[in-house]
Every structure is written in C-alpha cells, then in structure tokens.
Amino acid sequence: MQIEFVKCHGSGNDFPLVDARGLELHEDAWVRLARALADRAGPVGGDGLLLLTAGDATHAFGMRMFNPDGSEAETCLNGVRCTARLGFERLGVDAARVLLKTSDAEAQRQAELAPGVATIRTRVGPVSTRAVDVGLRIAEPEVIDAPIAGLPSDRAFTAVAMPNPHLVAFVDAVDEGELVALGDWCEGAPALLPARGNVSFVEVRGSEAAPALFVRTYERGVGLTNSCGSAMAASTYAAARTGRIPFDREARVFNRGGMVRASATPAAEVTIAGNATFEWDGRIGFDPATGALDGLTVIAQRPAEVASWDAMLASL
C-alpha cells in the first residue's frame, strides 16, 4: 500500500506525519510503520511517527504518536502542534480541541514567532504531580524538588505527569553524560519506574522579568533528543512550582532544536506557543505484514518554510 506523509518538525523535534483518518491498519501494522518510517538509517527518519486521527463529539480530530521503538506515547506537544496544523488545513479551521491517548489539548493558530514560521499555541492540563500518575513506585504522594530514593542520582527532582511521565532536575550546567546514564537506567524499566520515564536537566536563565530555561532531555523510547515538547512543558511547570520562574509569565524555553514560549498557571495548566514547520511531502510503499518500505517519492518541497525556520534559529 502507499502511505502519504508530511515530514515536519516542532522545535527541531522531527516526524513523518500521516493523515490516518481514512486508513485501516491493525495495531501491529502501525507499530511496524513507526519503526520503519522513524528509523534514522531508513529513507525518512524521525523522532517518531505522528498520526492525524478522527475526532469525536467534542474533538475535531485526534493525534497518536509512536516512538521509534514502536511504543506509543501518551502525548507529544511538539507533535500536537504539527498534527493540529495539518488538521486545521484539512478541516479549514483555526482552532480545535485535540484528542490524545489519555487526555486532550487545546490548539489554535498563533501570531508567527518569526516571519514565515507557522506557529501553533497549545494548552494542556491540569498536569499532575501525583507520584502514582508519574508511575513512581514510592511511598511519598509526590516529589517536588527533592531526591528520589532508589534513583541512581542524588539530585533533587520534580516529578510531573503531562500525562506522560517526566523527572525534571534543575542544574547549574547540563552534564550530558550524567543525563544519558540516568536516562538509560530509567529506560530499563526498573521497579521504581516500571513504565519508564523522560528525564530532563534544566538550566534557569534570563531574569524574573524575562525568564528563560534551557532544557536537555532523555526521551523515553527515543534517547537523548534535541527537543521534547512535553519536557519543555513539564520543565516550565516545575520551574514555576518551585519558584524559579513566576507563574502566569511567559518564558522563552530553549533546547538544542530551537525555542518555544511557555507559561504555567497555579491551576497546573501549561501553554506553549511554537513552530509547526512542514519541510516536505512524500509518498512511500509500505507492506503492513512485514513493515518493509519501498519507493520513496518526494511529492513537494517546502523550501520557504525551511529557510524561515533557519533564519529564526540564526537570530536566537
């Protein structure tokens, strides 16, 4: 069968995005498609596979996100922006409530972050800091800026469910070796965190009047990544909850992939405005039974969008 997709990215978090509303595939086939299309050694590559799915009575459309290892994430906020943009274009709307695996998000078009950079704002929450929601098997009801017994790190963490699980530590400077070692440990599904989790080290930058964060994340099912939207949201909430940045004030949140603008409320809602850049459109043959890909065709390039994003990065 032929699969059409858009190669897109949100803050450098890149994906093949498929309009799956008219496709009927067995769950195993979606897993095979994710592993094949997101494979960096394959013809497309990405940080995962995004699916635009049908909505329901209260959602215009939905999103599913599969990691490169085939596991399905509860959410992906960089992916929500890209999927929302495609949904807006297909349905002719500028705002929608988006159905996710275990929650939902509000999305709408936003004034451009920079000239030519398509921008979508999403709002999620309330997020949870309950240890059980994060998947931590501990006696404490929550972890806020405190060490976690049994974790191979003595750093203080804030545990946040977006609803996907995040452990956020604020550091003076990111040590990638330390981050990868801890992420690898969590990726092994230890008894402390059997469903695994995302781990972020965060540097606080800027000032109270103009707060900024730099986030580096080991993403569950992915590894060290240049960008993770839910990690940026979790880090924003954790920073506000621990008094490092003010609630209800927009912060610039940076990662290796780019920048978004984010804010958190005392009611545990997080808003992120960031890019949803479409780089090119493609078509590829896919065998649902084996997961084999064949015959990639680039239908259209989108050089103006790519150039606009590159110009924004150069200005940061």
Average pLDDT of the residues in 136-159: 97
Active-site residue, selected from the candidate residues 8, 82, 186, 228: 228
Average pLDDT of the residues in 11-17: 94
Average pLDDT of the residues in 113-133: 95
What is the H or E stretch that residue 235 is in? Answer: helix 229-241
| Interval 75-103: pLDDT, tens | 888 999 999 999 999 999 999 999 998 88
- Is residue 76 flagged as an active site residue? yes
CA distance readout (Å), 133 to 40, 163, 168, 217, 310? 32, 7, 15, 20, 38
Residue 43: is the preceding peptide bond cis (ω within 30°)? no
Residue 203 has pLDDT above 90, yes or no: yes
- What's the pLDDT score for residue 73? 87
Active-site residue, selected from the candidate residues 8, 76, 82, 186: 76
Average pLDDT of the residues in 112-120: 95
Average pLDDT of the residues in 129-148: 97
- Is residue 228 flagged as an active site residue? yes
- What's the pLDDT score for residue 227? 87
Confidence of residue 5 (pLDDT cuts 50, 70, 90): very high
Measured in whole angstroms, the distance separating CA 82 from the mean position of its chain's CA atoms is 10
Sign of CA dihedral 152, 239, 204, 187: positive
- What's the pLDDT score for residue 316? 81
Confidence of residue 273 (pLDDT cuts 50, 70, 90): very high
Residue 297 has pLDDT above 90, yes or no: yes
* Mean pLDDT value across the chain: 95
Residue 208 has pLDDT above 90, yes or no: no
Percent of the chain residues past pLDDT 90, beyond the cut = 89
Which structural domains are found in the chain, ordered by start?
Answer: 2-123+276-315 (3.10.310.10), 131-268 (3.10.310.10)
- What's the pLDDT score for residue 102? 87
Residue 199 has pLDDT above 90, yes or no: yes
Confidence of residue 74 (pLDDT cuts 50, 70, 90): confident
Residue 193 has pLDDT above 90, yes or no: yes
Strands (E), the chain: 2-10, 13-19, 49-54, 61-66, 72-73, 95-99, 104-110, 119-124, 158-161, 165-170, 198-206, 211-219, 223-225, 251-255, 258-264, 270-275, 277-286, 293-301
Confidence of residue 141 (pLDDT cuts 50, 70, 90): very high
What is the H or E stretch that residue 241 is in? Answer: helix 229-241
- What's the pLDDT score for residue 119? 97
| Interval 248-272: pLDDT, tens | 999 999 999 889 999 999 999 999 9
Residue 10 has pLDDT above 90, yes or no: yes
- What's the pLDDT score for residue 221? 85
Residues ≥6 apart with Cβ < 8 Å to 26:
288
Residue 232 has pLDDT above 90, yes or no: yes
